[in-house]
Amino acid sequence: MLRTLTLYLHPVAGLATIALAGYDARLGLRSRSAVRDAGAARRRHARIGPWLYVLVIVNWVGGLATMTQLRPEDTAGTGHFTIGTAIVGLLTVSALLSRWMPVAPTARMIHPLVGAATLLLCGFQIFLGLQLLP
């Protein structure tokens, strides 16, 4: 029973992390619009971003641990693992770009594109992960 419960820990944490990524993306979009609370949305987006980054990395490590310890028949060559690694990479790029946002117009232009690509991969990741559930 504990093994089965542990196998579901990564998917549940992943789903919660992707939900937070969606919320953070929504805040990012609102911060670029002409709505009254754009500044507040921008500040909230900036506060959530580092936490989201940490959660994604922790979940990636948790998925790798689940795969190597509890599901040794699966290898790191699965599409789910590959997309997860790409998500970590894109969020790393996004985090680096966020440091340049106040001074570099190019960073302000590229950051939302990288974020959108990351969110699309997150949606794809859900479907790939569903195939791996016990």
Predicted confidence (pLDDT) per residue in 49-88, tens digit:
999 999 999 999 998 888 887 766 666 678 899 999 999 9
- For residue 112 the two structure tokens come to 């939302």
Task: Parse the chain into domains and list their residue ranges.
Answer: 2-130
∠ CA 20-23-28, rounded to 5°: 125
What DSSP string describes 71-92? Answer: -TTS-TTSHHHHHHHHHHHHHH
User: What mean pLDDT do residues 95-121 have?
Assistant: 95
CA distance linking residue 35 with residue 9, whole number of Å: 38
Reported as a single tens digit per residue, the pLDDT across 16-39 is: 999 999 999 999 999 988 888 999
- CA gap 52, 122 in Å, rounded: 13
Side-chain half-sphere exposure of 65, counting CA atoms within 13 A = 13
